[in-house]
Structure 1
């Protein structure tokens, strides 16, 4: 028997017994992830790394600002949804934290706020910055879209669900909200709330904004991680409880692995102290 023929026969036997490359370990198939928030870039980076580690799996996204992730997940059009709160009929895996920063113009002299003051500010009870030790000008509230994970978490934590004034300007994209804070005249009147990832990036790149401390805690990743900064939200992967998808489970496990947590950290989110099982 020639060496070449023996090698071909060995490969065939390995393939037949499941020990060869055609039966490579790891998840196989498609995973569709849906969302509508600022997590898209981080999730796409995570997905590309997951695909590299699992060549037989591929990840697609249904992601735009008007998407309805829970509807897409429950209808079977997606296998996982990125959300900010748990749902009783779905399985939730937390993969990171995100803080919610209170952003004002760099020229705003307000030094800090309490949680109660933030609630009064965004429910319209406080209308002048001078009440908070700031400039003698009216408060201009900038709200976020109603289907936003950040908005939902912000209102829940402060107990102001449905109390943000209807005449507050609603701005969907973080970049536009930041530009509004920077460009509003008078320059120290506007205030918004925004995910910590976008907020810290704006500050680090020299944009003329400030992030206000809340309850004596600076809005930073370490204070979000240990809970001293209370305005934070979990970044969750929601999946069906019944129709299990091995690729979705593997993706959740990858997100919780050291490699996945490092990616989320680099993308501006706050990694977890521990890694709960999916």
Structure 2
């Protein structure tokens, strides 16, 4: 049974056999992340936790006919954010959903065009892979609004690009363009807007060509603390050594190698 998104109002969802495409869909407010979008993202996560697939998250594409620019997400909904108080902050509304996305069993790909600011940037940081276009503008302007980037940027961004650049983004309001994101390693590929989703699908195809269980376990082990290595690597490898896919894939490799040797 697929993901039932019939009641969604902020996301467009396409559920395929090995991946789920989720498009943020509040273009009238630059895809600002509000409570309804958070709730719907939680529903997507619940589905993917039970049915592990690659997740591709994108925003509103550019429409050359209408003259509109593409946009990923301009951040949290400022109107809602303005009314939130201490207890709302302590509830970690955005940080909780972004953490859940980061911990999904299979990899997450963020396809980024236009603004990816504030909460939009933090959503992208939570992905395993980021692909962008030249129009990408990524940063965290929260200190300019009298708050801080509290949904993962203070530690995820440092891990992704290093302390000096992370501080420039978080403390001095620097916004990175697409080429700067590529140069910093914040995105892995820079493509033209019309190629963005195709590039995300190509990456998803490469992931899908791997053994799903091996990918899931590799992702989980990758994100464990340093102090549990190498023990967790050894235990995880022990599990994979008993999987049928390991025997089937290795036998296929050997058979292919033997066929190449034949005259």
**Structure label with greater radius of gyration:** 1
Of Structure 1 and Structure 2, the greater strand share is in 1
Higher relative contact order, chain-length normalized (CA < 8 Å, sep 6+)? 1
